[in-house]
C-alpha cells in the first residue's frame, strides 16, 4: 500500500527564491501548454493536442529557454504537463456525462503551488545526505534543503512533491509499504451515525460531540479578513494580512484532521466491523432552487437559502467526508471491515418493533416510537439502524 508523508522544509533565503522560481517556471509551462491546446482547438479545425505531443516538445522548449525552463528536471516538467492532461480528461469526461464543467483555467503564479517529481532520484533526492543527522532533500537547481522530519519514513520513497502553503514549504513523499499485520479480532461490531449536534453517535449509546473548530475560529477569521480588506493592494502589510487569514484556516484544518484521526483510531481499535451511512454530502450541500415570485416578475420569494447556508456550514464544520476517508484508510491497514449503508429511514425506524414513521421523531434529538412507546436518543437509534442494515448487507454478500 502507498502512504503519504508531509514534512515542513526549512529552506535558506536563497533556496526559498529558487523554489519560488521553480513554481513560477512550471506555472508558465502549464499555462503555455494550455494556450497551445486552446489555440489548436479554436483555430486549427477543432483538432486537439495530446499529452504525448506536448511532452515531445519539451526538449525544444528547454533548449529554447535554458536560463529558465532548461534548469528544471525533465521528469517534473512531464508531471506538470500530465497534470494539465488530467484536467482536460476530467473536463471531457464531465461533458460526456452531461454536466457543465468549466474549461481548464490559466493559473496565476500565486495559484500554482505544487511541483511533482514522479521518481526519487530524478531531479530530486530524498535524504540526500544520509550521514548527516539533519534530513535533507535535494532538488535540482535548488540544492540540499533542510527537512523537519518529525517521524520515520517506512518503505521505499516513490514520488516526491514540493508544495507551497502561504509562506511555508512542504515536501510530500509517497512511500510503498508492505501491508501491516491486521489487529487482533475484538469480536465487536458497531454502527455509527454522523451528525451535526453530535459529530458521531455509536450503536452502543456513546457520543463524540462536535468540536466546531471553525465556529470557534470565526471571530479570529473575521478580524483577520477585516484587517485584510483595509490593506492597500500589493503592499507589504497586505501580504502579511493574507498570511494571517491563511494561518487561521490552516489551524482549523489541522484541528479537524487531528480530531478525525483520533476518533477513527478509537473505532478501529475497538471494533472488527464499522457500519456507516453512505452520505451523499454533495447532494445535501446543494443550494436550494430559487423560487420566482409569481406576482412580481424578476424578483424572488424566500427559498430558505440562508438557513441552508447555516446548515452547510455545520456540515462542512463536521468534516464528515474527511473523517470517513481517514477511517477507511485506518480500517484497511488494520484489517477491519467497513460497510456503507443507505441512510434512508435510519432515523425513523424503531429498533425495538420495526415501526417506521416520521412521527417517531418528534424533535431533532428525541426518538419516541408511536407503536410501542420505545424512546431513546435519535442519534443512537440512527446508529442502531445503520448497524442492523450493515449486518444484513454483509450477510447477503457472504451468502
Ligand atoms: Zn417501536
- Look up the pTM and report it: 0.78
DSSP H stretches of helix in the chain = 13-42, 51-56, 58-64, 74-96, 213-229, 236-270, 281-285, 305-318, 320-334, 378-398
Separation of 397 CA from ligand 1 center, angstroms?
28
Which string of DSSP letters, residue by residue, matches 52-67?
A: HHHHHTHHHHHHH-TT
Q: By the 8 A CB rule, do 217 and 252 touch? A: yes
**CB-based neighbours (< 5 A) of ligand 1, an ion:** 350, 352-353, 355, 369, 371-372, 374
Separation of 282 CA from ligand 1 center, angstroms?
32
The rounded distance, in Å, linking the Cα atoms of 336 and 333 is 8
Separation of 271 CA from ligand 1 center, angstroms?
27
Q: Which H/E stretch holds residue 10?
A: strand 2-10
Separation of 374 CA from ligand 1 center, angstroms?
5
- What are the grid coordinates assigned to 384, written together? 442502531
Tell me whether strands 189-194 and 273-277 are parallel, antiparallel or unpaired.
Answer: parallel
Separation of 368 CA from ligand 1 center, angstroms?
8
Separation of 357 CA from ligand 1 center, angstroms?
10
Strand partners, 4: 174
Per-residue pLDDT, 156: 92
Which string of DSSP letters, residue by residue, matches 169-186?
A: EEEEEEEE-PPPPPPPP-
Share the mean pLDDT of the chain.
89
Separation of 352 CA from ligand 1 center, angstroms?
5
Per-residue pLDDT, 318: 62
Per-residue pLDDT, 46: 64
Separation of 360 CA from ligand 1 center, angstroms?
8
Q: By the 8 A CB rule, do 169 and 9 touch? A: yes
pLDDT band at 267 (very low <50, low <70, confident <90, very high): very high
Per-residue pLDDT, 281: 45
Mean pLDDT, residues 185-210? 92
Per-residue pLDDT, 282: 42
Separation of 353 CA from ligand 1 center, angstroms?
4
Decide if pLDDT at 36 tops 50. Answer: yes
Separation of 267 CA from ligand 1 center, angstroms?
28
Spatial CA neighbour of 253 closest among 321, 202, 201: 321
Per-residue pLDDT, 286: 45
pLDDT band at 26 (very low <50, low <70, confident <90, very high): very high
Mean pLDDT, residues 262-282? 88
Strand partners, 163: 114, 170
Q: 346 burial class (0-12, 13-18, 19+ CB within 10 angstroms)?
A: buried
Fold of 189-214+254-398: Nucleotidyltransferase; domain 5 (3.30.420)
- What are the grid coordinates assigned to 95, written together? 461533458
Q: By the 8 A CB rule, do 80 and 115 touch? A: yes
Decide if pLDDT at 220 tops 80. Answer: yes
**What does the domain layout of the chain look like in residue ranges?**
2-176, 189-214+254-398
Query: pLDDT, tens digit, for every residue of 274-318?
Result: 999 887 644 454 455 566 677 776 677 666 666 656 665 556 656
Please report where in the chains the cell 479480532 appears, as a residue: 185
Separation of 396 CA from ligand 1 center, angstroms?
25
Decide if pLDDT at 331 tops 80. Answer: yes
The rounded distance, in Å, linking the Cα atoms of 23 and 6 is 18
Per-residue pLDDT, 42: 79
Per-residue pLDDT, 314: 59
Top mean-pLDDT range of 4-18, 170-184, 242-256, 270-284: 4-18
Separation of 116 CA from ligand 1 center, angstroms?
57
Decide if pLDDT at 388 tops 50. Answer: yes
pLDDT higher at 304 or 353 = 353
Per-residue pLDDT, 131: 86
Separation of 203 CA from ligand 1 center, angstroms?
17
Range name among 80-94, 99-113, 190-204, 280-294 with the lowest pLDDT average: 280-294
- For residue 265, the SS3 value is helix
Please report where in the chains the cell 482536460 appears, as a residue: 88
Query: What Å distances lie between residue 194 and 163, 202, 256, 325, 382, CA to CA?
Result: 32, 9, 15, 14, 9
Amino acid at each position: 500500500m502507498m502512504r503519504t508523508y508531509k514534512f515542513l522544509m526549512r529552506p535558506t533565503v536563497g533556496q526559498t527564491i529558487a523554489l519560488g522560481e521553480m513554481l513560477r517556471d512550471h506555472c508558465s509551462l502549464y499555462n503555455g501548454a494550455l494556450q497551445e491546446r486552446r489555440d489548436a482547438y479554436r483555430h486549427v479545425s477543432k483538432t486537439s493536442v495530446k499529452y504525448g505531443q506536448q511532452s515531445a516538445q519539451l526538449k525544444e522548449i528547454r533548449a529554447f529557454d535554458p536560463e529558465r525552463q532548461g534548469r528544471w528536471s525533465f521528469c517534473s516538467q512531464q508531471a506538470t504537463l500530465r497534470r494539465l492532461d488530467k484536467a482536460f480528461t476530467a473536463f471531457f469526461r464531465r461533458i460526456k456525462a452531461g454536466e457543465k464543467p468549466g474549461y481548464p483555467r490559466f493559473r496565476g503564479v500565486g495559484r500554482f503551488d505544487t511541483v511533482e517529481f514522479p521518481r526519487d532520484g530524478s531531479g530530486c533526492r530524498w535524504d540526500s545526505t544520509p550521514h548527516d543527522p539533519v534530513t535533507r532533500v535535494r532538488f535540482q537547481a535548488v540544492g540540499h534543503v533542510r527537512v523537519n522530519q518529525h517521524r520515520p519514513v517506512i518503505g521505499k520513497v516513490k514520488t516526491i512533491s514540493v508544495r507551497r502553503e502561504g509562506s511555508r514549504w512542504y515536501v510530500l513523499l509517497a512511500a510503498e509499504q508492505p501491508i501491516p499485520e491486521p489487529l487482533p479480532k475484538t469480536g465487536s461490531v458497531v454502527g455509527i451515525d454522523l451528525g451535526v449536534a453530535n459529530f458521531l453517535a455509536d450503536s452502543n449509546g456513546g457520543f463524540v460531540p462536535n468540536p466546531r473548530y471553525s465556529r470557534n475560529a470565526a471571530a479570529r477569521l473575521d478580524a483577520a479578513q477585516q484587517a485584510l480588506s483595509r490593506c492597500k493592494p500589493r503592499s507589504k502589510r497586505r501580504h502579511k494580512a493574507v498570511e494571517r487569514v491563511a494561518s487561521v484556516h490552516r489551524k482549523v484544518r489541522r484541528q479537524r484532521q487531528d480530531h478525525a484521526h483520533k476518533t477513527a483510531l478509537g473505532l478501529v481499535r475497538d471494533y472488527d466491523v464499522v457500519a456507516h451511512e453512505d452520505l451523499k454530502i454533495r447532494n445535501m450541500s446543494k443550494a436550494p432552487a430559487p423560487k420566482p415570485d409569481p406576482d412580481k416578475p424578476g424578483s424572488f420569494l424566500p427559498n430558505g437559502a440562508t438557513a441552508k447556508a447555516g446548515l452547510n456550514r455545520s456540515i462542512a464544520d463536521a468534516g464528515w467526508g474527511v473523517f470517513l476517508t481517514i477511517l477507511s484508510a485506518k480500517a484497511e491497514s488494520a484489517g477491519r471491515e467497513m460497510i456503507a449503508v443507505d441512510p434512508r429511514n435510519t432515523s425513523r425506524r424503531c429498533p425495538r418493533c420495526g415501526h417506521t414513521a416520521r412521527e417517531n421523531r418528534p424533535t431533532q434529538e428525541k426518538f419516541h416510537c408511536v407503536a410501542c412507546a420505545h424512546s431513546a436518543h435519535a442519534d443512537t437509534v440512527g446508529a442502531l439502524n445503520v448497524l442492523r442494515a450493515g449486518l444484513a448487507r454483509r450477510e447477503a454478500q457472504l451468502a
